[in-house]
Amino acid sequence: MKLKIALGQMRVKAGRIQDNVATMRSMIHDAKLKGVDMIVFPEMCISGYMIADRYHDFAFLSYAEKMNEVIKELSTDIIVVWGNIALTLGEHKIKGHDGRFGRANSVYMAYNQQYVARENGLYYPGVKTLLPNYRIFDDARYFLSSTDLSQTLGIDFFSPFILNYHGLTYRFGLEICEDLWSQDYAINPTLNWVNQHVDVIINVSASPWTLNKESSRFKALAHHMKQVESFPTFVYVNQVGFQNNGKNVIGFDGGSMIVDTFGKVIVQAPDQFTQALVVETLEYKPTMSKLLTGLVNAIQCFDEEILPFKPKWVVGLSGGLDSSIGACLLTLALGNQRVIGVNMATQYNSKATIFNAQKLAQKLNIQYHEGSIEPLVKITHQVSEAFGFPLVTSLSQENAQARIRGHLLSSIASSVGGVILNNANKVETALGYATLYGDTIGALSPLGDCTKVQLFDLANEINTLFQDEIIPKNLIGQLTEKGYHFDLPPSAELKEKQVDPMKWGYHDALVSKLTLYPGFQIHEFEKKVLTNTLDDETMAYWLRIYGLDQDLEAFKADLQWFKKSVSQGIFKRIQMPPIVLISRGAFGYDYREVQGTFEEETL
């Protein structure tokens, strides 16, 4: 079999039908110039995948479906495969379970301005069989599966696509994203295609990136290959860019590939969130880690697609670790001309953190302003007391300062026609160490799914990337036998000698475990620790570091504080700006929460 295949790893823009079609048109043109036989595009590459209830907009979907005719007309002398919505299957209009119009997540194949027919002599597109309905995915809310449609319409969705091309006959199986990840399902679409003796399985995908996702893809494919003696050539095309669901910004890293029958990757596209038309193997040497690349690209795409008026980005530059990394990410993503750093000191701010902010801004060459908010703090106390509500408690005084900072940042952003970057990290967000309308404000939270420990690694990487101490080393935790040591311990600096109470490393791991899909049972963890049956080496390590494996009363007290803090912080988290998703359990629409507490006595 001699097919020159191009991987059309495109940046798909949600809701931007004309933009996406223009990208496809350009890639098809370039592929023809390279003498390509077939070009494959990702899942839902015309409308975008993350469009939420726009899937209920019949006019929008009809327009997207009509673009199939446009793409088909471009298939002269080249085979084109692409993902799009289907409202019709051949002669059949799709109806939902409620009798209204239905829709299917589909994959199309065309050649020489004709759709490619199946072995049964009929033409209808491939339809996604496995509909993910967990974490950020809501496929079952919007689509009918091939199994649903097969039962109602009597259509065989595993009839291969047959194409006579240059004197040879090819048998293709077309599947979509989750169809590859069938280990936990009753149906295995990939092996169904293998049993149909296809020459090539093509998987068009919109597979969100999370840490180590790339290795999971290979494992999923290897799982299928081990079950059969002979496996067809496998073509996998994933999209790049970032889309969002309103509460999370979700990255797509690419990683498109062609794998031969022996499981060897013969063509590999970049998995660095970059658009590429790949016809032959590329040698790619990344200059940044996958995590840093993903965060930078998230800001770039969010800024371009959600904020096309190119606003200034205002960051509260406290001189601490989180805001320092935030400013670096903005600079890497957008350049230094659109970043404004603002240091808003109180009487409790140390000279060290103010100096940190000054040096960081100087080295990044970003616009920088500093000053004291004490006059606003003073007048807030006076006005609040005049209204009959004196700020007498330490907590009310701390929160007033944080909200004043939020208010000031909002005023500055308004004056420059800009937006605010949210600096919160995942651990502080989880434990409620973010003041509502103070630390929780912003247009985007790029670090809201990053633990503090991950930020230490990012800080070191950023310094290596710039070949300079951009982020002061006094902010970066150094792991010792007794936990993390800091030259300048993390602090909100809202009262005298304030230091964050977190057990860094341990609480990071605990938050990650708590939110990890499909959910970590905190009571089961507690039980295992108390009965000395814990089999999690990572958690056991952190318990030893902080001596909680020996002092069980201290362990119980700390865990009680942790659970209480997590529960009390829910109302803040659900008002956070969109959080860039990097883990298998980001706050927002991934790890979902309702307000209220659950009675422990019933457990």
301 to each of 2, 249, 262, 366, how far by Cα in Å? 37, 10, 37, 21
Report the half-sphere exposure of 309 (CA within 13 A, side-chain side): 7
Reported residue count of the chain is: 603
Angle at 114 between CA 109 and CA 120, to 5 degrees: 70
Please count the other Cβ atoms lying within 10 Å of the Cβ belonging to residue 499. 11
pLDDT attached to residue 602: 42
pLDDT attached to residue 477: 94
Residue type at 133 in one-letter notation: N
Q: Hey, which residues does 39 pair with through a beta bridge?
A: 6, 80
Given a contact cutoff of 8 angstroms between Cβ atoms, the answer to whether 447 and 421 are in contact is no
Given a contact cutoff of 8 angstroms between Cβ atoms, the answer to whether 584 and 511 are in contact is no
pLDDT attached to residue 354: 95
Q: Which CATH superfamily is domain 5-283 in?
A: Carbon-nitrogen hydrolase (3.60.110.10)
**Strand, coil or helix: 453:** helix
Angle at 572 between CA 570 and CA 575, to 5 degrees: 110
pLDDT attached to residue 601: 45
Q: What is the CATH number of domain 301-602?
A: 3.40.50.620
What is the layout of strands, in order, in the sheet containing 168-176? 161-165, 168-176, 200-205, 233-238, 257-259, 265-268
346-368 pLDDT tens trace: 988 889 999 999 999 999 999 99
pLDDT attached to residue 498: 76
53-91 pLDDT tens trace: 999 999 999 999 999 999 999 999 999 999 999 999 988
The token pair that represents 501 in the structure block: 């109470």
Q: How far apart are CA 386 and CA 383, in angstroms?
A: 5
pLDDT attached to residue 200: 95
Listed residue (249, 315, 538, 572) closest to 430, CA to CA: 572
Low-confidence ranges of the chain (pLDDT < 70): 1, 281-286, 520, 597-603
Domain ranges of the chain: 5-283, 301-602
Listed residue (273, 239, 258) closest to 8, CA to CA: 239
pLDDT attached to residue 97: 85
Q: How far apart are CA 567 and CA 554, in angstroms?
A: 20
Residue type at 593 in one-letter notation: E
Report the Cα 43 to chain-centroid distance in Å.
17
CA distance from start to end of the chain: 60
pLDDT attached to residue 603: 43
What are the strands, taking DSSP E only, across 339-390?
339-345, 367-372
pLDDT attached to residue 138: 95
H or E, element range at 335: none
